[in-house]
Amino acid sequence: MGDLAKHVGDTGVLSIDLSPDLNEALTVLAEVVERFAEAEAVAGTVPFRLNLVLDELVTNCVSYALRDVPEPQLRLRLRRCANVLVAELEDNGPAFDPLTEASTPDTTLDLDERNIGGLGVYFVKQFAADAEYECVDGLNRITLRLNLEADDND
């Protein structure tokens, strides 16, 4: 991926375009989250949680939203604001709010009775202090906020 510093603008925001190839996108994502966490001294389970929810969201973007888009775009922005880590994920797929439109999994069922998948948005809602969706200028944007003090409550 190269030097992480080249992806951070003057505003202190890390911004990176991810490939619409799922394997490549997830590999880069994991590296970006790890390096950003190190650079911002984010420890405990927060980097794991951030990577998990972004992995789920990126997988959904690449697998569904961007599948039939001629020139797919997928951009991640990360920044730290005091004790909150903010992640924004944008794509140019059809407008879709996964936070309200995705089905809710039945977590009361035994594992062998559940359908495969469907836990991505559930994880987002469990691990993010706040999550919101908006469609701006033809781009889907999901903004996540994770408290950096989350490990204190584990």
- 99 inside domain: yes
- 116 inside domain: yes
Q: Tell me the CATH number at 101.
A: 3.30.565.10
Neighbour count for residue 135 (Cβ, 10 Å): 13
Number of domains in the chain: 1
- 131 inside domain: yes
Tens-place pLDDT, residues 10-19: 456 899 999 9
Neighbour count for residue 13 (Cβ, 10 Å): 14
Predicted TM-score of the model (pTM): 0.83
- 54 inside domain: yes
- 153 inside domain: no
Tens-place pLDDT, residues 32-80: 999 999 999 998 999 999 999 999 999 999 999 999 999 999 999 999 9
**Interatomic CA distance for residues 47 and 38, integer angstroms:** 9
**Interatomic CA distance for residues 37 and 6, integer angstroms:** 16
State the residue range of the domain holding 97.
7-148
- 2 inside domain: no
Q: 78-99 burial, b if ≥16 CB within 10 A, otherwise e?
A: bbbeeeebebbbbbbbeebebe
